[in-house]
Each structure stands twice: as C-alpha cells, then as structure tokens.
Amino acid sequence: MDRLMDWKGKVLRRRYRLDERINVGLTVEVFRAFDLLEEKEVAVKLPLPHLVSDRDFCDAFRSAAHRATRLHHPGIVPIIDYGIEEGRPFVVMELVEEKTLHDLFEAGRKMKPIGALYFTIEIGKVLVYLQEQGITHGSLDEGHVFIYPGRKAKISDPGFPTVLGAAAAPHPLSQDPRRDIQDLGYLLYRSITGKNKQEAADDIKSGRLKWDEDVPVRVQGLVRDCLDSAGGGGFPSAESVLKEAISALREEVPMVTVSREAVAEEPEAAPDLAPAPVHIPIPHLKRWQVWTGVTLLVIAVVFLAVWILSAVITESKVEVPNLVDMSVEEAAKVAAERDLGLLVVASEYDADIKANYVISQDPQVGVMVKKKTVIKVLESMGPLTVPNLIGLTLDDARIVLEERGFEVGEVVYREVEGYSDNRVVETDPPYGSKLSSGDAIDLVVSAGASGS
C-alpha cells in the first residue's frame, strides 16, 4: 500500500467501487466511488497508507466515523457508511460537487457583509447542533466548508482526526467547542476582507483587524468576538453566536443606505409677527345650533384621524407575498421588492417540493407587516428515497431508516422460502419511492421457512 493509486478500481465490502481519486490531504485520500447496491455515486475517504500502522489514528478515525453516522443535520455532509478493508478503515460520504471555501479563496472571491451573516447563521446552526451532541469539529477550516447556492453551506468531517501543526502526529486538533467559534471568526475575517492566510494571521495576532468602509460595525464586532472566544472572552457558546448573527441580520436586511446629504435640514422658523387684533362679532347661537356644530366638528375630527392613521399604516406596512413553492433565490428577490427580508430557518426533506424551494413561511400570505420584516421560511431538500432494505436484518433496517430520516411503520412477519429468520423481504412503499422526512415505511420480515 505504498503507492496511493493501488486502491483505484478496488471494491470495498463488495459494494463500493473506487473509480477516481479526487483529493489527497495530509492524512486522507478521497475517491469518487460508485455504490453498487444503491446505484449512485458517493465519496469514499481513507487514511493514507502510511497511517494505517498508526493504531491511535485509525482508532480515532473509526470512532469519528461511528459518531458521524448518528449526526443528522442539513448543514453536515452525511456519512452513509463506514468499515474496514484489509485493515484500512474507510468512510462513505455523500458526494459533494460544490466548491469549498478554499476554492473561493483561491479564486479571489469575497463575501459581502450580508452574505457573511447568512454564512455565520448556516455554520452557527451546525455548531449548535454539534455541541448538543457533545461533539466538536476540531478542525474547522476552509477545506471542510462547502458553499451551496442560495447562501447555503455544509461542513464535513466533524470530529475526525487531523494534524497538529507542520509535522506533529495526526490527532484531533481541539476538543474545546470555543475553538470552533474562533475558527469560524478566522474564516469570516478572510471571507469578508479577502486576505490570504499570512495577512489574516498577522492582523489577528497584532489585534488590529482591518476592514473596508462598507463593513457594518456590528459585523466587525461579531467577527472580533468569535476570534476572542477560545481565549476566554468573546462568545461562550455557538448558540450565542447564532443569536447575535440573526439579530444583526434582522437589523441589516434589507440594507438601505441613506446618505447624510439626503437628510434635508428643517427650515428656520419665521419670526413671529403678531398682527393687530381683529374684532369679529360673534353671533348669538341657539342651543340646537351649538350642539349640531359640536357634533359635526367631532365627526370631522374622527374622519381626519382615521384618514391620517390609514395613510401612516399604508405607508409603513406591506402585504406578505406568497413564497411557497418558489426557489429560495426567487423568494428572496420577491421579498426584497416589497422591502422585506428572507431567512431560511430550517431545511427538511419533502416529497412534494423540489430541493431549494420554500415549503412554508412565517408570516403567512396576505398578512400586513412592517417594511424590513424578515420572513422566515422552511426550505425543502427534495424527496427522500426509500433505500434498498431487502436482505437486511430487522435491526439493521431500523438503523438505516432512522439514519435516513424515516420511521419504521408496521412490521409483519411471514414465512418466505429462501430467507433466513428475521430478514427484510419486502417494504411498503418499495425501494426507490420518493417520500418526506418522518414518513413511515412498513416492513415484511421473514419468520423462517423450510429450505432457508
């Protein structure tokens, strides 16, 4: 196993065929592979051959893979399977075609401040989830962050072993969740400023961050507090980062720039010239005439108040448009046209709504809201495909279904020739059906039969 290309074309566990090596890191190599059972492309990650003899590293790699299969979050590249082949551990992951943050840095791309807030919210939600699971990423860098359309992002390899420094032994970088927050601050600083690694490191080390004029003070403070987190200051948790990012976004979206020159000064008051008093004879009115006049005056005042209030409300409020079944990008444009913001608060699989389209919204359609209100939407990740469970034990089938976001429905036992006891022989809906998150799948399980 001294040559990296030795395993190209190899089939792992008689299921995953390694077709093309697409990346080589300091500790692992990644292959584009084909899942012969599910008939789809996947990514397979393996430790480099020279690390197979490092028992501590391989143990840490397997432990991370085991933990990762239990992680289910739309912002994490999912681990589909893991195992050992000829003493070499491997993990099977979703194949990601999107570019990494490193690719964008190399291309000289920068994030606008608003985009950076969306990015912070995306990564913040993942870090909150990881902390709830008792896991730290440990090596959150630009190579582990994938940028998706619609201001979405995913991270890979949470908790997997990496390298310490230039030539140290490969082990987890940090178990302190605040280090992940500090790493997020570093990525934000580079993303917003466009600085390279050395320039960013020098600025951070000196404590003098350099910003363009268009970066809001609150965004600068967010990045600074992230960078200070691992040192005992800054944010105490990922949840506090997320709350601050959402609050800052609500303040900035939609961003409306009003120049100082556009604010007109009020004209000075004209001198008060008191005219000579004019004596107007007041006629003597009868009682009914007085009451009639008072009534008409009250009615006029009420109508005037209603008119003014209506004008104010009409000017400051807009009707919420229908964003459901609209792409997130298009929904953001429609909202912006009405001076409203858009925030994707969660994502889930939906059989009826295409991926990257809106499932639901809050506030609802037709509600009158203030301008600059942020509409919260639920984004679809598309349908879930029923996996092939035929031949699996009932326990294994349960694990696979729960990991994919399904529920186990009714379990029926039946004697089926050719199957050993407790094996799945049929599913309803069948393999390949498109469903939504939380849908139940009924199982027919063999109860043992002669000839099995």
Count Cβ atoms within 10 A of the Cβ of residue 222 and give its class: 0-12 exposed, 13-18 middle, 19 or more buried: buried
In this structure, the answer to whether residues 105 and 213 fall within a common structural domain is yes
- State how far the alpha carbon of 172 is from the alpha carbons of 59, 175, 190, 238, in Å: 12, 7, 24, 19
- Same domain, residue pair 247 and 115: yes
- Same domain flag for 232 and 117: yes
Task: Give kind and range of the element (H or E) at residue 32.
Answer: strand 28-35
Taking alpha carbons only, the member of 31, 28, 140 closest to residue 92 is: 31
pLDDT of residue 286: 57
Q: 181 lies in a domain? A: yes
Residue range of the domain that includes 139: 101-162+172-252
In tens, the pLDDT along 240-291 reads: 999 999 999 988 875 433 223 333 333 333 333 344 444 444 455 556 566 6
Single out the residue of 120, 113, 146 nearest to residue 254, CA to CA: 113
The pLDDT score that the predictor gives to residue 391 is: 79
Domain boundary among 94, 115, 146: 94
**338 and 398 together in one domain:** no
Model pLDDT for residues 358-379, shown as the tens digit of each residue? 999 999 998 999 888 999 999 9
My answer on whether 196 and 85 are in the same domain is no
Element (H, E) at 424: strand 424-428
For the chain, what is the domain count? 4
User: CA dihedral defined by 261, 262, 263, 268, rounded to 10 degrees?
Assistant: 80
Domain boundary, last residue among 94, 116, 143: 94
Residues 31 and 156 placed together within one structural domain of the fold: no
**Inside any domain, residue 330:** yes
Q: How much is the pLDDT for 309? A: 64
Q: Which H or E run contains 303?
A: helix 287-316
The pLDDT tens digits of the residues spanning 423-452 come to 888 999 988 888 988 899 999 999 865 433
Residues in the chain: 452
Please report whether residue 309 resides in a domain.
no
* Same-domain pairing of 363 and 390: no
Co-location of 376 and 389 in the same domain:
no
CA-angle at 286, arms to 282 and 287, nearest 5°: 120
CATH of the domain at 20: 3.30.200.20
Query: Do 238 and 128 form a contact (C-beta atoms < 8 A)?
Result: yes
Tell me if 267 is assigned to some domain. Answer: no
User: Token pair 């979050």 is at which residue?
Assistant: 73
Of 252, 271, 293, the position where a domain reaches its end is 252
Closest CA to 141 of 122, 157, 125: 157
Residues 324 and 425 grouped into a single domain: no
- The segments of the chain whose pLDDT lies below 70 read 1-5, 162-175, 254-291, 293, 306-315, 448-452
Same domain? 360 vs 416: no
CATH of the domain at 370: 3.30.10.20
Neighbouring-strand partners of residue 407:
440
CATH code: domain of residue 213: 1.10.510.10
Is the residue at 389 inside a domain? Answer: yes
Q: pTM (2 decimals)? A: 0.57
Q: Could you tell me which of 248, 245, 211 has the C-alpha nearest to residue 120?
A: 245
Amino acid sitting at position 115? G
The whole-number pLDDT of residue 270 equals 34
Residue with tokens 């105490």: 236
Instruction: Give the per-residue pLDDT at 298.
Output: 76
What six digits make up the tokens of 449?
A: 């039969």
Q: Is 303 domain-assigned?
A: no
Name residue 393's amino acid: T
- For position 289, what pLDDT does the model report? 62
Residue with tokens 């990881």: 130
| Whether the bond into 47 is cis, omega within 30 of 0 | no
Residues 247 and 129 in one domain: yes
Q: Are residues 346 and 433 in the same domain?
A: no
- List the strands of the sheet with 88-94, edge to edge: 11-12, 16-24, 28-35, 40-47, 88-94, 79-85
